[in-house]
Chain A
């Protein structure tokens, strides 16, 4: 009986809340909606793409598909990540194509009530404003919600 009640509670909670995966990039906390993430992999050396911009690390073999890997930190205008075994690649699907995003490490899954999401306060960086959809406070730290469509533009304009 008790268990049943508990489950209903959880269901209600599910309906209201969205789940986000939080991770760190260059020491800052970011998060992505869990439904946007296809898988999370350990970093392994990638194949360099010649003439690629600094935030494109290269390409990786994901079960036979060639997917580009972006350095989120460099993309956000932070310092370039020295990728190592400890880092993770978050595979997301943007514009119908899989894309890998290099992050320092994945932290946890957090449940967020849409009401908790605050608008990004205006700061003097257009990149930041574009890439960040909103912010939330979680355990007294600020977690930035990434606007994936802005971070990875349509395939035609990815490079050059």
Chain B
């Protein structure tokens, strides 16, 4: 149970940290809107509150310090100068790190932690230290609470809960505690209604309380405590304040209605009042209970799942959202995949029926198909997410990398709202991190060098995402020195990746970066030199069915381009037959297809064959041979698919026949069998049969002819 609550907390933390990052980035960009500052303050405060509930002391302590500095900024006692902004950014990064440590375990960088704490302390005036532990209910626009002159007031409160209130899991104790936190509270129990022991109904409510509260808080705040039990109790609050105070309170109330809530971790109303709260999503929150009251609040939250969705609604602004387990969506995606397969099976069955007039059926079937496609697109859209959170995390990577290398870089994000499949986003994180670290470490020059080269001292890395004809394009562009080609080549020779006298084109040299076992760092820096090279990046991208390219101009910078399929679940494929088996080749890898005749085939050596295409010779790679299959029938491979590999090498895949081009649902072979060379995944065809989806790249790599040809070409280039 506590595990799941904690999970929820960490999920929220992620959102809150994103919000913090987003706000800080805006501030860094010159946007000093008080609302932005407030938003960050609220986010940090919520993290602190949640962390308190789980006893994450380090996190609480740091968040508190961080928040206090923000409080100073909020009340205009501190100026947001660049130095402070940098500190805040680093603190935000550290806060993320602390959350990660709390969630996944691991070590906090103590020295860094202490340095930041000390740096933050410098901005905190001594006497203000405890200020932020006061209720944050007035977290609206900074101006509103400031104008109210705190004045002691006495409220007489009569509180008589109805039995329904207990049914919703509300507990008077916590209400009183919240009140007590505001000032001096006297509680008197009124048990007059309590009947004799015999006539007592255990489920009924007989107790009432008379409370006297002396506080500086305005009436609205006091009322807000009872927000969630409204209608569930008989309540009267009599204050001795004058009309002016009343007006102030109203103003504060207005301010709060226009501001997003600060604290959402309060016990939510139970089902019967949930409707009320949903209709007014911007309810003023009750004053924050102190951390020790939080565990109970968290428990309430878990027992009332409605609270979750309601809260989600509030945070994401005007668009209502729903938090759904990923597994449920995946189940739906699978089912839709089945539906599409089922449709093609049905169509095939009808075609086999030999009924003369199938027009009506076909019309209906067409409608069925369109509906299925609609559902599929809809379901895919559920999985699609904007790359924004990913990009925001990358800003942190660049900051950390810059600090470690003593360079100044800024990351410019473009196309943050481009939507990509969730899995793709998750699996892009590592490769992107690596490329960006590399860009800072190897790409961007030291500030002095940049100045000498006539560039701005601040290096710029541009991270952009865009949709490009059915695929997603992610570009990482730096304005650094570009690939040091002589050095790259020298290293490749030293490592035995290329022969000493090899002559390579610029593009070929650049692509050497992706070769396994290649690392250019002169000494292994603790930044990018972590034992993984760009080949790992390339593998990760190809693992997602994508491609990665690099282009570089000396002195101007390098650009990495990652092209990814829009979704991992469906792709366009060409249905071919190979050795009596039906297989699918991804359309994206096919350059052209052709039927071959004998005079197009030229032998080279004992086994090698080349296909002549308009005067060019490309090696032929027999798919059946590459997969270790043999043909039972006499059919010969007569159709060629011209494919291009990452390195730009072309190869003709020989297959028996081409049947069709269609969208296929990708079925992973993970867990079914180990990795099969030449096969990427499987799919189910219209007849219910499984077909292998081929991976041309690995077929070519495994093919002796093509591989040999590749080496030969390199050698002939070299001589």
Residues in A lying within 8 Å of B, measured CB to CB: 46-52, 56, 59-61, 63-68, 97, 155-160
B337 and A50 form a contact (CB under 8 A) = no
Q: CA of A47 to CA of B580 in the docked complex: distance in angstroms?
A: 10
Q: CA of A64 to CA of B337 in the docked complex: distance in angstroms?
A: 8
Cβ–Cβ < 8 Å partners of B627 in chain A: 50-51
Find the A residue at minimum CB distance from B690.
A47
Q: CA of A52 to CA of B688 in the docked complex: distance in angstroms?
A: 22
A-B contact pairs, 14 of them (CB 8 A): A46-B690, A47-B690, A49-B673, A50-B677, A50-B678, A51-B628, A59-B690, A64-B338, A64-B341, A68-B673, A158-B672, A158-B673, A159-B673, A159-B674
Most chain B CB within 10 A, of A50, A158, A159, is at: A50
In the assembled complex, the CB of A27 is this many whole angstroms from the nearest CB of chain B, namely 27
B682 and A59 form a contact (CB under 8 A) = yes
A68 and B675 form a contact (CB under 8 A) = no
Asked if B380 CB lies within 8 Å of chain A CBs, one says: no
Most chain B CB within 10 A, of A59, A63, A68, A159, is at: A59
Contacting A at CB under 8 A, from B654-696, are: 667, 669-679, 682, 684, 688-692
Known: A47-B581, A51-B627, A51-B628. A64 touches B684 (CB 8 A): yes
B581 and A48 form a contact (CB under 8 A) = yes
Asked if B334 CB lies within 8 Å of chain A CBs, one says: yes
Known: A64-B337, A66-B690. A52 touches B672 (CB 8 A): no
Cβ–Cβ < 8 Å partners of B351 in chain A: none
A61 and B676 form a contact (CB under 8 A) = no
**Contact partner, B682, options A56, A66, A156, Cβ 8 Å:** A66
**Besides A49-B692, A50-B679, A160-B674, 13 other CB < 8 A contacts?**
A49-B676, A51-B627, A51-B628, A59-B672, A59-B673, A59-B682, A61-B689, A64-B338, A66-B667, A66-B682, A155-B673, A159-B674, A159-B676
Known: A60-B690, A61-B684. A66 touches B669 (CB 8 A): yes
Q: CA of A65 to CA of B688 in the docked complex: distance in angstroms?
A: 11
Cβ–Cβ < 8 Å partners of A68 in chain B: 672-673
Q: CA of A63 to CA of B334 in the docked complex: distance in angstroms?
A: 11
> What are the 10 tightest A-B residue pairs by CB atom distance, in nearest-first order?
A50-B627, A159-B674, A47-B690, A155-B671, A64-B338, A160-B674, A159-B673, A66-B667, A68-B672, A61-B690
A47 and B673 form a contact (CB under 8 A) = no
Cross-chain pair count, CB within 8 angstroms: 71
Find the A residue at minimum CB distance from B665.
A64
Q: CA of A17 to CA of B491 in the docked complex: distance in angstroms?
A: 71
A50 and B684 form a contact (CB under 8 A) = no
B672 and A66 form a contact (CB under 8 A) = yes
B671 and A97 form a contact (CB under 8 A) = yes
Residues in B lying within 8 Å of A, measured CB to CB: 334, 337-338, 341, 581, 627-629, 667, 669-679, 682, 684, 688-692
Cβ–Cβ < 8 Å partners of B677 in chain A: 50-51
Cβ–Cβ < 8 Å partners of B688 in chain A: 61
In the assembled complex, the CB of A117 is this many whole angstroms from the nearest CB of chain B, namely 32
A51 and B676 form a contact (CB under 8 A) = yes
Cβ–Cβ < 8 Å partners of A64 in chain B: 334, 337-338, 341, 684
Find the B residue at minimum CB distance from A47.
B690
Find the B residue at minimum CB distance from A155.
B671
In the assembled complex, the CB of A53 is this many whole angstroms from the nearest CB of chain B, namely 10
Known: A50-B629, A66-B682. A156 touches B674 (CB 8 A): yes
Cβ–Cβ < 8 Å partners of B670 in chain A: 155
Q: CA of A50 to CA of B341 in the docked complex: distance in angstroms?
A: 24
A160 and B675 form a contact (CB under 8 A) = yes
Q: CA of A52 to CA of B689 in the docked complex: distance in angstroms?
A: 18
B674 and A47 form a contact (CB under 8 A) = no
Cβ–Cβ < 8 Å partners of B581 in chain A: 47-48
**Contact partner, A155, options B629, B672, B690, Cβ 8 Å:** B672
Cβ–Cβ < 8 Å partners of A59 in chain B: 669, 672-673, 682, 690
Find the A residue at minimum CB distance from B687.
A61
In the assembled complex, the CB of B667 is this many whole angstroms from the nearest CB of chain A, namely 5
In the assembled complex, the CB of A91 is this many whole angstroms from the nearest CB of chain B, namely 13
Q: CA of A111 to CA of B409 in the docked complex: distance in angstroms?
A: 75
Known: A61-B684, A159-B674. A50 touches B334 (CB 8 A): no
Q: CA of A67 to CA of B37 in the docked complex: distance in angstroms?
A: 55
Cβ–Cβ < 8 Å partners of B672 in chain A: 59, 66-68, 97, 155, 158
Cβ–Cβ < 8 Å partners of B628 in chain A: 50-51
Known: A59-B672, A159-B673. A47 touches B691 (CB 8 A): yes
Q: CA of A64 to CA of B665 in the docked complex: distance in angstroms?
A: 10
Q: CA of A64 to CA of B691 in the docked complex: distance in angstroms?
A: 12
Q: CA of A59 to CA of B675 in the docked complex: distance in angstroms?
A: 14
Cβ–Cβ < 8 Å partners of A49 in chain B: 673, 676, 679, 692
Q: CA of A156 to CA of B684 in the docked complex: distance in angstroms?
A: 23
In the assembled complex, the CB of B338 is this many whole angstroms from the nearest CB of chain A, namely 4
**Contact partner, B673, options A46, A52, A61, Cβ 8 Å:** A52
Cβ–Cβ < 8 Å partners of A46 in chain B: 690
Q: CA of A75 to CA of B334 in the docked complex: distance in angstroms?
A: 32
Q: CA of A100 to CA of B97 in the docked complex: distance in angstroms?
A: 46
Cβ–Cβ < 8 Å partners of A61 in chain B: 684, 688-690
In the assembled complex, the CB of A157 is this many whole angstroms from the nearest CB of chain B, namely 8
Q: CA of A97 to CA of B671 in the docked complex: distance in angstroms?
A: 8
Cβ–Cβ < 8 Å partners of A159 in chain B: 673-674, 676
In the assembled complex, the CB of A158 is this many whole angstroms from the nearest CB of chain B, namely 5
Cβ–Cβ < 8 Å partners of B669 in chain A: 59, 66
Q: CA of A51 to CA of B689 in the docked complex: distance in angstroms?
A: 19
Known: A64-B334, A64-B684. A50 touches B690 (CB 8 A): no
A48 and B629 form a contact (CB under 8 A) = yes
